[in-house]
């Protein structure tokens, strides 16, 4: 358990108190306790006495201790019994906070989507204090959109589902081997569904087990060659399991990995050589002999094509390469240059993040908490940053195997200024600049902000350059041509943000940036130590962009990185 979970629990209690019509003083006590924890620089394990903190009283202290010990509290459990089950999901509607929803519940009897829609359509909501015609329009639109699943989902929604299925497949009997296939295996940014290829000599037994996996909401079809189910979660996701003989596993996996364009090119090439590719193998058109394979490398070698990793099988153009691409590997990564701690909006302390990076056997890392402009993330001002630097230096003495850079993720302000002066930035080991505000500005305004940051000699990297959130936000209007040119001219590192909600820059732009000589870093932007594992996804995204080790700064040695940073600052 970490501090973020405790904060969320306290905030949830406050919302349920509002929905139950409790007095504002009681509700405020839980919000103040949550804010006290948010502001404190220590991690959960470093706080000895919660009641000594300003904002945490005897009652909230008891709730915190109960939650840490049991993972739940009687307070929240009792509150949940008093609130209609259909009411809480309405909090997801933008503009409906606890207070407004409580008013709808207590005065109009709104208890779920149906009663909310009825109250909006018959004019009751519009007449209620604090609401109006525009509020009603927004609520009705949100209700119309709710539950309408996008055709394709961001991989951040799909990957956890696939990983949970993989854990269960590992426990099933009768499976020789399996693999995820389709767009998820190629690491497309979005996926329509999930495909698995399963090699088995016991299809009937395996098929039966697949229908009983956790979270199966519906069994669409159930046979010895294919099982299709719908699994429930934030979204309903269709999962296809293809059950095949072990000797056909590789060619079936290649076929269903795709892409369609890749497969068309491969089939055309095979035909020129007198062969036909199918799910079952490669057939000699003259002799009808069927060739099967133990690995995809064998499959490609048979056709005299350099091995192409799944990530690059996209446009079909890759089939024409002369040799296998030498792409970045996860084992090449020597450090992570973007992460947050409890000093801003992270869940773990400096020590805890260092310890985890040591476990990853990194040679270096950078602590980069938010700057003062981002008050919602408890951003650091100059005084707190200097204190944090002292804390980082003191902590790093305990971990001689890793070099810890004292960094900052500094906001590029809406007016184009930077959140700190050049004089102050000189003191930092590693400076990230990023945009978190005024996304609705024009391309010209956005580029002026980027130019100001990138021309500062003390800014080392631009984080999540387009500001996009997959499936949720397009980001701001960035002139990517001009941005890449600026990065090359100023030797500013471009980040590939490995958070699966971002994957920013996109793989297409990463490929272009590398071709034009830009330096790139793959970072997790971790806000807790579990997110450090997103580096694996980031490396896959980098491979999709054909990135090579020599162009990734956090695949360099520590000495190479430090030398580059010193040169950039003119030292």
pLDDT at 571: 67
Candidate CATH numbers 3.30.460.10, 3.40.50.620, 3.20.20.150, 3.40.50.10860; the one for domain 153-244: 3.30.460.10
pLDDT at 99: 86
For the stretch 140-188, pLDDT in tens is 988 887 767 788 999 999 999 999 999 999 999 999 999 999 999 999 9
> In the chain, what percentage of residues exceed pLDDT 90?
84
- For residues 217 and 211, give the distance between their C-alpha atoms in angstroms, rounded to a whole number: 10
> In the chain, what percentage of residues exceed pLDDT 70?
100
Pick the closest to residue 239 from 139, 293, 166 (CA basis): 166
Backbone torsions φ then ψ of 368, nearest 5 degrees: -135, 75
Cis previous bond, 259, omega within 30: yes
Cβ contact 518:487 at 8 Å: yes
For the stretch 28-58, pLDDT in tens is 999 999 989 988 888 888 898 999 999 999 9
List the strands of the sheet with 364-370, edge to edge: 335-336, 364-370, 403-411, 430-434, 461-462, 493-497, 520-523
User: What are the Cα distances from residue 486, in Å, to 21, 49, 220, 417, 513?
Assistant: 55, 50, 52, 17, 11
Q: SS3 for 394?
A: helix
pLDDT at 357: 98
Q: How open is the CA angle 394-400-403, to the nearest 5 degrees?
A: 80
| Residues 6 or more apart in contact with residue 321 via CB below 8 angstroms | 306, 308
Mean pLDDT across the stretch 379-403?
96
| Residues 6 or more apart in contact with residue 231 via CB below 8 angstroms | 161, 165, 213, 215, 216, 217, 237, 239
Cβ contact 175:199 at 8 Å: yes
Pick the closest to residue 541 from 151, 153, 155 (CA basis): 155
The CATH fold assigned to 251-320 is Beta Polymerase; domain 3 (3.30.210)
Model confidence at 340: pLDDT above 90:
yes
- For residues 202 and 389, give the distance between their C-alpha atoms in angstroms, rounded to a whole number: 60
pLDDT at 150: 82
Domain coordinates in residue numbering, the chain = 3-145, 153-244, 251-320, 330-568
CATH number of 3-145: 1.10.150.110
Q: How open is the CA angle 417-419-425, to the nearest 5 degrees?
A: 110
pLDDT at 160: 95
What are the DSSP E strand ranges found in 172-280? 175-180, 190-191, 194-200, 216-222, 226-231, 237-244, 275-278
Q: SS3 for 91?
A: helix
Produce one character per residue of 42-81: b if its CB has 16 or more CB atoms within 10 Å, e if not: bbbeebeebeebebbeeebbebbebbbeeeebebbeebee
- For residues 88 and 110, give the distance between their C-alpha atoms in angstroms, rounded to a whole number: 11
The mean pLDDT value of the chain amounts to: 94
Model confidence at 16: pLDDT above 70:
yes
For the stretch 59-107, pLDDT in tens is 999 999 999 999 999 999 999 999 998 998 898 887 788 889 999 999 9
Q: Which two tokens stand for residue 537?
A: 């996804």
Model confidence at 339: pLDDT above 80:
yes
Candidate CATH numbers 3.40.50.620, 3.50.50.60, 3.30.1330.10, 3.20.20.140; the one for domain 330-568: 3.20.20.140
- For residues 488 and 466, give the distance between their C-alpha atoms in angstroms, rounded to a whole number: 17
pLDDT at 337: 99
For the stretch 107-140, pLDDT in tens is 999 999 999 999 999 999 998 888 988 889 989 9
More confident residue, 286 or 235: 286
Backbone torsions φ then ψ of 298, nearest 5 degrees: -60, -40
- For residues 96 and 86, give the distance between their C-alpha atoms in angstroms, rounded to a whole number: 14
């Amino acid at each position: 358990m970490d501090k973020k979970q405790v904060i969320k629990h306290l905030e949830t209690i406050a919302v349920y108190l509002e929905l139950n019509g409790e007095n504002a003083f009681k509700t405020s006590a839980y919000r103040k306790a949550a804010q006290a924890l948010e502001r404190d620089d220590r991690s959960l394990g470093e706080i000895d006495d919660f009641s000594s903190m300003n904002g945490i009283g005897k009652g909230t202290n008891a709730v915190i201790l109960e939650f840490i010990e049991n993972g739940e509290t009687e307070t929240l459990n009792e509150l949940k019994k008093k609130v209609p089950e259909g009411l809480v999901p309405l909090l997801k509607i933008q503009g409906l906070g606890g207070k407004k929803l409580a008013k709808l519940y207590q005065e109009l009897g709104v208890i779920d989507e149906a009663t909310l829609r009825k109250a909006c359509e018959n004019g009751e909501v519009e007449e209620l204090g604090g609401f109006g015609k525009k509020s009603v329009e927004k609520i009705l639109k949100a209700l119309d959109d709710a539950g309408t699943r996008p055709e394709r989902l961001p991989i951040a929604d799909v990957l956890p589902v696939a990983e949970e299925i993989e854990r269960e497949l590992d426990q099933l009997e009768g499976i020789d081997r399996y693999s995820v296939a389709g767009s998820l295996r190629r690491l497309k940014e979005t996926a329509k569904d999930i495909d698995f290829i399963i090699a088995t000599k016991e299809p009937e037994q395996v098929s039966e087990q697949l229908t009983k996996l956790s979270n199966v909401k519906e069994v669409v079809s159930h046979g010895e060659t294919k099982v299709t189910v719908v699994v429930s979660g934030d979204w309903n996701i269709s999962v296809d399991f293809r059950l095949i003989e072990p000797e056909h596993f590789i060619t079936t996996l290649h076929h269903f990995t795709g892409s369609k364009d890749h497969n068309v090119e491969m089939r055309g090439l095979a035909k020129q050589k007198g062969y036909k590719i199918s799910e079952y193998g490669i057939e000699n058109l003259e002799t009808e002999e069927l060739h099967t394979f133990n690995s995809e490398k064998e499959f490609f070698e048979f056709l005299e094509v350099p091995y192409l990793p799944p990530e690059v099988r996209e446009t079909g153009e890759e089939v024409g390469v002369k040799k296998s691409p030498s792409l970045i590997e996860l084992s090449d990564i020597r450090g992570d240059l973007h992460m947050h701690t409890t000093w801003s909006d992270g869940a773990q302390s400096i020590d805890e993040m260092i310890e985890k990076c040591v476990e990853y056997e990194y040679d270096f890392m950078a602590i980069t908490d938010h700057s003062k402009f981002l008050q919602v993330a408890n951003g650091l001002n100059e005084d707190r940053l200097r204190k944090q630097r002292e804390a980082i230096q003191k902590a790093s003495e305990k971990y001689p195997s890793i070099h810890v850079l004292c960094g900052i993720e500094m906001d590029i302000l809406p007016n184009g200024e930077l959140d700190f002066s050049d004089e102050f930035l000189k003191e930092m080991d590693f400076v990230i600049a990023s945009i978190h505000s005024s996304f609705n500005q024009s391309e010209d305004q956005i580029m002026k902000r980027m130019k100001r940051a990138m021309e500062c000699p003390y800014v080392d990297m631009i984080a999540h350059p387009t500001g996009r959130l997959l499936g949720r936000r397009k980001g701001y209007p960035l002139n990517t041509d001009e941005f890449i040119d600026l990065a090359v001219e100023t030797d500013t590192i471009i980040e590939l943000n490995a958070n699966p909600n971002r994957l920013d820059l996109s793989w297409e732009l990463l490929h272009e940036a590398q071709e034009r000589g830009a330096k790139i870093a793959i970072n997790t932007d971790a806000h807790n130590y579990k997110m450090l594992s997103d580096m694996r996804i980031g490396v896959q995204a980098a491979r999709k962009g054909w990135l090579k080790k020599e162009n990734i700064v956090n695949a360099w040695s520590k000495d190479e990185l430090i030398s580059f940073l010193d040169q950039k600052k003119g030292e």
